[in-house]
Amino acid sequence: MVRRALIAGNWKMHMTTGQAKALAARVGEAAKQATDRDVLVAPPFTAIPAVAGALAGSEVIIAGQNVCWEEQGAYTGEISPVMLKDLGATAAIVGHSERRQIFGENDDLINRRVTGALGFGLTVVLCVGETLEERESGQTLAVLETQVQGGLEQVSGEDLARIVVAYEPVWAIGTGKTATTEQAQEAHAFIRRLIGKRYEKGLADQMRILYGGSVKPANIDELMAQPDIDGALVGGAALDAESFGRIINFK
């Protein structure tokens, strides 16, 4: 099955409103050339309205970098799915390794975010991945199974169509290290088999699985040549319009 590629840029805690607007405009121009693939950007919450304005009329998807599961309430520091949609976002990243590693989010909390976002009509990019210690001790596949199963708890086969999984080995994020194409392909194929066992092969074949972890212009073509890699979740390189434009227009 040919799956439509998705190139996603996670801007993390970077960009003032003005900077974000300027970058979004350039991303929109680069995306015009890529008619056979999807492009997503996840600016800081504060910049989403400016980015939405800069990308008005384009096909670029706008995502929040996280999302709460409730519409409103006493959740200081959180942002609800309704608020994200009001700002102009239609998707949300959930379970990013930095949320897991720095802020201590576990699979139960991540699952609440996943189901909450789905319940309000958002598309979810569910991130999973192992630490260096877990990889070196041979736990990679066990960790992926726990995180995938935990993240998809109570998610129906129908809702699965609005989930994208991003495999991001923690040891490769922002370090300059990248999983080899063989390591990345092995993890992606394993995740697809897990989805097939939990749901059915047809749904697994349709699911887009992205690779994240020091993706850059120099390695995007080789990564995208792998049969189970359907796109990329890009960090640092997404902050540079020229670099991200090259990644969007991979060959």
The SS3 assignment for 44 reads: coil
Question: Which pTM was predicted?
Answer: 0.97
Q: Structural domain boundaries of the chain?
A: 5-248
Mean pLDDT for 84-94 is 98
The architecture that CATH gives domain 5-248 is Alpha-Beta Barrel (3.20)
10 Å Cβ neighbour count for 208?
17
In angstroms, the CA 28 to CA 58 distance is 7
Query: Which one from 70, 96, 134, 188 is the annotated catalytic residue?
Result: 96
pLDDT at 205 over 80: yes
Q: Which residues pair with 38 in a beta bridge?
A: 6
Query: Residue 14's closest CA among 212, 214, 236?
Result: 236
Q: Could you read off the pLDDT of 223-237 as tens digits, one per residue?
A: 999 999 999 999 999
10 Å Cβ neighbour count for 104?
8
pLDDT at 1 over 80: no
pLDDT at 178 over 80: no
Q: Are 81 and 119 in contact, with CB atoms under 8 Å apart?
A: yes
Is 105 assigned a catalytic role? Answer: no
The SS3 assignment for 234 reads: strand
pLDDT at 146: 98
Is 242 assigned a catalytic role? Answer: no
Query: Residue 89's closest CA among 61, 55, 58?
Result: 61
Q: Which two tokens stand for residue 93?
A: 């990243």
Query: Which one from 98, 130, 134, 168 is the annotated catalytic residue?
Result: 168
pLDDT at 138 over 90: yes
